[in-house]
Amino acid sequence: MQSFIITGTDTGIGKTVASAMLTQALGTNYWKPVQSGIEGMVDARVVQKLTALPDDRFLPESYVLSEPLSPHRAAELDRVEIDMNRLIPPASERRLIIEGAGGLMVPITRNNLQINMFKSWDIPLILCARTGLGTINHTLLSIEALWNRQMKIHGLLFIGEENRDNIKTIAEYSGVKVLGRLPLLVELNAANLQQAFSENFKAEDFA
């Protein structure tokens, strides 16, 4: 069964909200391998709050680190040594939505970038990107990094207000499939996320 890695061009672009939409719409489980930052709600709890899905749809993180920093640094501050061998997608009865930390080139340790961890898993990636100014550069750079490593890009998932030319330009330069655009929702809840998926995405694109 096909799982997906949800990555993005940056932190704070809407990966968690997009992951909530997909976990609900595709009926998957959700896993966040490394959670950096525990003040407020961790990403798994945000997804659970947004979807109201039961506990068994959420697999425990491999590492939960205190500070909202890149995992390599947050681990150092917590005096935790991240063992890459423990960072393997867990067995799951359902497909997995795996939400990465920040963007692709985030270091997990002092000698392992997240993108290389994803490569070793051999699971297709969904690259989330903003729609606004700056996204053409960030998105094409991320795609090039994935291509350089011969990694499978399942598609692009845009988040934000409509910007047809940015999306068209990225699609034309890269040839990567655009899965859809998740608009900014005034109220984030399960019903609105389900509606956003139905209106802007095709379930068969994730089969």
- Amino acid identity of 110? R
Q: Please name which of 84, 25, 34, 26 lies closest in space to residue 59, comparing C-alpha atoms.
A: 34
**Contact string (CB under 6 A) for ligand ADP, positions 160-199, x = contact:** ----------------------x-xx--x-----------
Asked if residue 158 lies in contact with residue 181, where contact means CB atoms within 8 angstroms, the answer is yes
Q: Which does 120 bind (CB under 5 to 8 A by kind): ligand ADP, Mg ion, none?
A: none
Residue 92 DSSP SS3: coil
- CA distances from residue 2 to 73, 96, 207 in whole angstroms, order as listed: 32, 8, 7
> Is 45 or 95 the residue whose CB approaches Mg ion more closely?
45
Interaction between residue 36 and Mg ion (CB under 5 A) = no
- Cβ at position 165, least distance to ligand ADP in Å: 20
Cβ neighbors of 146 (< 8 A, separation 6 or more) are: 104, 115, 125, 127, 153
- Cβ at position 99, least distance to Mg ion in Å: 6
Dihedral-angle region of residue 3 (phi above 0 means left; psi in -120 to 50 means alpha; beta otherwise)? beta
Closest residue (Cβ) to ligand ADP? 14
Interaction between residue 13 and ligand ADP (CB under 6 A) = yes
Cβ neighbors of 134 (< 8 A, separation 6 or more) are: none
Q: Which two tokens stand for residue 87?
A: 């960072």
Interaction between residue 15 and ligand ADP (CB under 6 A) = yes
> Is 72 or 130 the residue whose CB approaches ligand ADP more closely?
130
Q: Which residues are catalytic?
A: 32
> Is 9 or 174 the residue whose CB approaches Mg ion more closely?
9
Interaction between residue 38 and ligand ADP (CB under 6 A) = no
- Cβ at position 62, least distance to ligand ADP in Å: 18
Give me the residues that bind Mg ion (CB under 5 A), please.
15-16, 43
Give me the residues that bind ligand ADP (CB under 6 A), please.
8, 11-17, 159, 182, 184-185, 188
